[in-house]
Amino acid sequence: MRNASLQERKNAATPRGVGVMCDFYAERAEGAELWDVEGQRYIDFAAGIAVLNTGHRHPKLIAAIEAQLKAFTHTAYQIVPYESYVSLAEQINARAPIEGPAKTAFFTTGAEAVENAVKIARAATGRTGLIAFSGGFHGRTMMGMALTGKVVPYKVGFGPFPGEVYHAPFPNAAHGVSVEDAIDAVQTLFKADIDPARVAAIILEPVQGEGGFNVAPPAFMQALREICDTHGILLIADEVQTGFARTGSLFAMEQYPVKADLITMAKSLAGGMPLSGVVGRKAIMDAPAPGGLGGTYAGNPLAVASALAVLEVIDEEKLCERSKALGDKLIAFLNARRDAVPQIADARGLGSMVAVEFNDAAGKPDAAFAKKVQQHALANGLLLLTCGTYGNVIRFLYPLTISDALFDEALAVLDAALKQ
């Protein structure tokens, strides 16, 4: 089997709207490495877009899935429930940074979690309005796209979108947007666009994913919490990408002085199996009537078994601590190259949710340079992803289980790509 022939078949059989970054095809993977059908090896710093914090094919996950496979694969939890779903909900409730008793519901995709968080917020408040932020990404469903603050490629040609969704700028010191600017913009929405008494929820990512790994300042989160408390608005933290040790804590919201009312999760929750969820305050989660939440595959038994194993691995292998150590090492590596690579405008992150941003000599976003770094690294066996509103950011999403030797090998490839 050859990559070229598979590429021809792909182009003939699948639509161009499913954008595919690589022109080679995976055959097997292990830990932080994967091999294509022609035997070429790659170090995986993409991890299925932040899905593999525990790495490819972790033995504990394989064992858990195999055991569940021998028991049953599907009943539909809403028809015949199973203990593992309840057990996972209990663990999430105990670990999530939510004020007071919490409850959790499971779904399948991150976008589905966001959609259901909106449903829950509207049911709990009796309101319909939503506020999101520029650069935010919340999924590819219609409501997810409406909330997303990035047009290309996610929203082009797909409108109109659901109404009563408003956007404010996200604070970004590198782009001249202060916390005060962002909060003032929210207050302006209340004066110009929507009565705060009609707003059900404010939703944001603690660290923006597609937007460029922009970290929400603690002062910003505190101010949003105060706005929400003043006006009876719910605060939703979209932790689809930030969750499960990526930022150095199980949830990124653990690192803020305030708590969200609802938290969405997915990606690394189940280590490669499709599973998402919403955890929130008990009274809020109980607002929808029976039958209002769910889905045929929601909380699939195989995925739930994998998620229970993920939590064990995070604890046993101390992946939160590992995330901080690797993230600190990477940021130090990037900052040490600023003199040799003047295009480096910023190296930032929380734990191992790290990114580097590139600007040209005039201080403008340099997407072309980011693309060259990505392509040079790929040609030398390192998978990297770009992101950011201007496409000038490279994000690093290596498995947290990666060995020191493999991490150092990847940094050597990155070093050569930066200095090309």
C-alpha 213: how far from its chain's center? Answer: 10
Q: Is it true that the peptide bond before 101 is cis, omega within 30 degrees of 0?
A: no
Nearest by Cα to 349 from 247, 265, 258, 255 = 247
Residue 237 shares a structural domain with residue 363? no
On whether the CB atoms of residues 203 and 138 are closer than 8 A, the answer is yes
The pairing of strands 276-281 and 393-396 is unpaired
Domain residue limits at 360: 3-57+317-418
Helix pair 404-418, 367-379: axis angle to 10 deg: 130
What pLDDT sits at residue 4?
96
Predicted local confidence at residue 368, as pLDDT: 98
Backbone torsion region of residue 373, taken as left when φ is above 0, otherwise alpha when ψ lies between -120 and 50, otherwise beta: alpha
Q: For residue 384, is pLDDT > 90? A: yes
Task: Identify whether residues 266 and 401 lie together within a single domain.
Answer: no
Query: What are the structure tokens assigned to 20, written together?
Result: 């595919």
Which of 268, 286, 316 delimits the end of a domain?
A: 316
Do 172 and 214 form a contact (C-beta atoms < 8 A)? Answer: yes
183-227 per-position pLDDT tens digit: 999 999 999 999 999 999 999 999 999 999 999 999 999 999 999
Same domain, 44 and 178: no
Q: What is the 3-state secondary structure (H, E, C) of the chain?
A: CCHHHHHHHHHHHCCCCCCCCCCCCEEEEEECEEEECCCCEEEECCHHHHCCCCCECCHHHHHHHHHHHHHCCCCCCCCCCCHHHHHHHHHHHHHCCECCCEEEEEECCHHHHHHHHHHHHHHHHCCCEEEEECCCCCCCCHHHHHHCCCCCCCCCCCCCCCCCEEEECCCEHHHCECHHHHHHHHHHHHHHCCCHHHEEEEEECCECCCCCCCECCHHHHHHHHHHHHHHCCEEEEECCCCCCCCCCCCCHHHHCCCCECEEEECHHHCECECCEEEEEEHHHHCCCCCCCCCCCCCCCHHHHHHHHHHHHHHHHCCHHHHHHHHHHHHHHHHHCCCCCCCCEEEEEEECCEEEEEEECCCCCECHHHHHHHHHHHHHCCEECEEECCCCCEEEECCCCCCCHHHHHHHHHHHHHHHCC
252, 284, 316 — which closes off a domain?
A: 316
pLDDT for the residue numbered 413: 98
The answer to whether 365 touches 359, Cβ cutoff 8 Å, is yes
Q: Which of 316, 348, 378 is the last residue of a domain?
A: 316
The stretch 164-178 carries a mean pLDDT of 95
pLDDT of residue 226: 98
Average pLDDT over residues 229-249: 98
Q: Quick one: average pLDDT of 70-93? A: 98
CB-side exposure of 295: number of CA atoms within 13 Å?
17
Q: What does the alpha-carbon distance between residue 228 and residue 222 come to, in Å, rounded to a whole number?
A: 10
Q: How many domains does the chain have?
A: 2
Percent pLDDT > 90 in the chain is: 98
Do both 329 and 407 map to the same domain? yes
Are 221 and 303 within one domain? yes
What's the chain's average pLDDT? Answer: 97
CA distances from 2 to 5, 28, 40, 42, 131 (A): 6, 15, 11, 17, 48
Q: How far apart are the first and last CA of the chain?
A: 33
Query: 283 and 357: one domain?
Result: no
- CATH code, 302: 3.40.640.10
Instruction: Return d(Cα 297, Cα 108) in angstroms, integer.
Output: 7
Instruction: Tell me the pLDDT tens digit for each residue of 357-372.
Output: 999 999 999 999 999 9
Q: Are residues 191 and 83 in the same domain?
A: yes
pLDDT at res. 134:
97
Inform me whether the pLDDT recorded for 83 exceeds 90. Answer: yes
pLDDT in tens, 96-114: 999 999 999 999 999 999 9
Does the pLDDT at position 5 exceed 90? Answer: yes
Average pLDDT over residues 336-361: 97
pLDDT band at 174 (very low <50, low <70, confident <90, very high): confident
Do 70 and 53 lie in one domain? The reply is no
Does the pLDDT of residue 257 top 90, yes or no? yes
pLDDT of the residue at 382 = 98
CATH number assigned to the domain comprising residue 29: 3.90.1150.10
Residues 58 and 69 sit within 8 Å (Cβ to Cβ): no
Whether residues 237 and 197 share a domain: the answer is yes
Residues 351 and 248 in one domain: no
Q: Which of 100-104, 155-159, 278-282 has the lowest mean pLDDT?
A: 155-159
- CA 397 to chain CA centroid, Å, is 10
pLDDT at 308: 98
pLDDT class of 144 with cuts at 50, 70, 90: very high
Residues 81 and 104 in one domain: yes
Confidence of residue 420 (pLDDT cuts 50, 70, 90): confident
* Res 274: pLDDT: 98
Same-domain status, 69 and 213? yes
* pLDDT (average), residues 335-364: 97
